[in-house]
Amino acid sequence: MRGKLKAKKELSPDRIYNSTKVSKFINYIMLDGKKDVARKIVYDAFDLIKEKDKKDPLEVFEGALKNTGPTMEVRSRRVGGASYQIPREVRAERRLALSMRWILGVAKSGKGTPMYKRLAEELILASKNEGESVKKRENVHKMADANKAFAHFSW
């Protein structure tokens, strides 16, 4: 029998944009508890977006999260002696987490330029439905589409 579900801690919204999503994104960027460094990266990236794209950075950020969040993914399930990749719908919380993780992964992988510039660039591209994180989402959707035949094994 399962135990009780742990209550999720409420995240306070960030100082400037008053958004819990931005606050969560700052926490994703943070390393070794250095939250001020993470905040500086995010806010500098948002300033660069405002300067380059002449749009509200929060809108660009929300659009990027929406465009990179997968709706379907595959999960492994063992049936008999074989493992099948079963397509499943992605919960909203996981969709947000995957989206943030993919955007951050792409920004971290680009070496040579400051992190805030790479992050701003990826957010702008993702909001326009381009970029590496959008490709990642499309690959996940292709995998789910290719394995539709095994959907009846879903539990």
pLDDT digit string (tens) for 31-52? 999 999 999 999 999 999 999 9
CA atoms within 13 A on the CB side of 46: 17
Whole-angstrom Cα distance, residue 9 to residue 137? Answer: 28
Percent over 70 (pLDDT), the chain: 99
Q: How many domains does the chain have?
A: 1
* Model pLDDT, residue 118: 94
DSSP state, residue 112: S
pTM metric for this prediction: 0.89
Q: Model confidence over 63-103: pLDDT tens digits?
A: 999 999 999 988 888 888 888 888 889 999 999 999 999 99
Question: Would 76 be classed as within a structural domain?
Answer: yes
Q: How confident is the model at residue 149 (pLDDT cuts 50, 70, 90)?
A: confident
In a domain, 41, yes or no: yes
User: Domain limits at 71?
Assistant: 20-153
83 occurs within a structural domain: yes
**Does any domain span residue 117?**
yes
In a domain, 49, yes or no: yes
Distances (CA, A) of 41 to 7, 24, 106, 127: 30, 14, 15, 19
Question: Which residues face 83 on adjacent strands?
Answer: 78
Residue entry with tokens 């959907």: 151
d(CA 98, CA 24): 12
Does 11 reside within a domain?
no
Provide the CATH number for the domain around residue 34: 1.10.455.10
Q: Is residue 4 situated within a structural domain?
A: no
The verdict on residue 14 lying in a domain is no
